[in-house]
Structure 1
Amino acid sequence: MPNKLPNSILYLLSISAGLEVANLYYNQPLLHDMATSLGVSDSEVSNVALSTQIGYAFGLLFIIPLGDKINNIKIMKLNFLILILSLLGAALSQSLVLLIMSSFLIGFTSTLPQLFVPMAAHLSNDDGRGRAIGIVMSGLLIGILGSRVLSGLVGEYLGWRTVFYGAAGLMILLFFLLNVKLPVIQPKFGESYSKLMKSLWFYFRTESSSTG
């Protein structure tokens, strides 16, 4: 493969980043409808959005480092499986507890955009690296901004559950596209997962002290 990222893959990564990160924000305009549907208060249902963001933070901590140990396709397959099941779980939830649990897993598995950015950089040559990162980041930002508008419109006319059914369908389609189009990137870290996590702590300490 030439040391240049084809535009077809680059824009697929950008669109994928936007659609993936959108899963984190679909629930925010729908909270009142969820509360009414499940018979809970607005303050109680706010835990749905909170659990999604907490799940995302845990995903960044525990999933993203795996990019240094496991090839990108293996991570993607497991990640998409859990994400799709979590989106369907949210759509089918008949209680607030189940919705909160599904939302946590949605956040936990919506971290792939943080792998797409270094993937684009890795597959690009030196001249095209900045452009590639910029395009993938643009897709990510558009996903953040557009997700609330889209979910609000769909939720208003078709109901909040339809948003999650639709998101699950998009993730299924996206999985097959990425599985076919993305090249396999083999990681170089050959140590255990525990050593990988310890290395994060080392960089956290050294980088924090160097910037302090």
Structure 2
Amino acid sequence: MDFLKQYIPNVFDNWHGDYGFEGAISQTLYMTIISAIIAGVIGLAVGLILVITEDGAIAENKTIYNITDKIVNVLRSIPFIILLALIGPLTKIIVGTTIGPQGALVPLVIGTFPFYARQVQNALVQVDKGVIEAAQSMGESNFGIVCSVYLKEGLPDLIRASTLTIISLVNLTAMAGAVGAGGLGSLALDIGYKRFQNDVTIVATLMVLLFVFVVQFIGDYITKKVSH
């Protein structure tokens, strides 16, 4: 321990408390988990709409598809740092604040669900059309086809898409820290960079990378389990 204190003294000095590493880690986990759940539900729904309403799909509807597709494209095109400022008034209405982990939830969800929706679409369009046609010939409803064919057959690819999205979300939480959202990104900038405490910046960055590696490992493990 004394050996480490020689090389990363500022990390030990800033470890405890809401504004130290303990608080930053909990804030990053809070933003990631809550945003992932909400954006996951919305993104899955939007992705399914894109899949089932496209040309030749089970519920083909060009109007709904084109509107949904354009919304996803527009939201995906807005840089996240600009999105944070752009939807500030909406964030204030929904959660009552635009700062801190709570204030980051709305932009994180809006910045994440279009990306996930497109990943869901890319995953599910690869489902074997023959299986879908077989389900239709047996009189299966569209809802039944979504549940028993699309979601079941596309599960491994959906897990891979979810893993990629959560990793992207972890990175977004770090970016949100630049505008007062808290978390490891804020710690790295406000204490590490602005106070010239390089050891804080390095350790905060390593912790973000650790989160990414853990998410990737869990995602790969689950994918292997459901693929056999």
Q: What is the TM-score with the length of structure 2 in the denominator?
A: 0.33
Greater Rg by CA: 2
Q: What is the TM-score with the length of structure 1 in the denominator?
A: 0.35
More contact order relative to length (CA 8 Å, sep ≥ 6): 1
